[in-house]
Amino acid sequence: MQTCNHPSVDLTLLEDTLAEYAGVKGSLISILQKTQEIYGYIPIDAVYRISERTGASPAKILGVATFYSQFRFQAVGKYLILLCKGTACYVNGADRILDAVSDELGIGNNETTEDGLFSLSVVACLGCCSLAPVMMINDKTYGSLTPDKARQILRDLRKEAEAQ
């Protein structure tokens, strides 16, 4: 099936996952998680390939994928920032951290910087409430943030990326 205006992806990368899960009932979410691990997001071409192999309709697959906050449909930057807005973070000023991060990077929630370095995603709770406010960048958690500290972390990461 043809769709337009999206980058094509190498679908052979999906083969191992499909070979392992396609016949296992109830494994659609696991397949989608593996797909996102491979591509960094859920490419629409992959949805059609999963549909062909599992027999689930593209509508069903997208219905499941869009239900869960983990799944993304666009590529994300090198650093994915999960900014926590759970209760403890909210009470401790998460809004000010969000403002600082948005201002520093020039992006809002679910957006990626033009250089493809940072993506920002506001999440419900990272479970590090005693260190609120908190953000997680690529599985590393940063706690007890202040607006200045958050800006500094992003600047350090940018420097790190430029040095590479």
Which C-beta is closer to another protein: that of 131 or that of 161? 131
> What distance in Å separates the CA atoms of residue 119 and residue 123, rounded to the nearest whole number?
13
84, β-bridge pairs = 123
Which C-beta is closer to another protein: that of 117 or that of 129? 129
CA torsion, points 143, 146, 152, 158, in degrees to nearest 10?
Answer: 60
> Please, what is the minimum distance in Å from the beta carbon of residue 2 to another protein?
27
> Please, what is the minimum distance in Å from the beta carbon of residue 114 to another protein?
23
Burial of 50 (0-12, 13-18, 19+ CB in 10 A): buried
Interacting residues with another protein (CB under 8 A): 25-30, 32-33, 63-64, 67-71, 82, 85-92, 123-132, 134, 139, 141-144
> Please, what is the minimum distance in Å from the beta carbon of residue 148 to another protein?
11
Which C-beta is closer to another protein: that of 48 or that of 90? 90
Which C-beta is closer to another protein: that of 12 or that of 130? 130
CB 30 within 8 A of CB 18: no
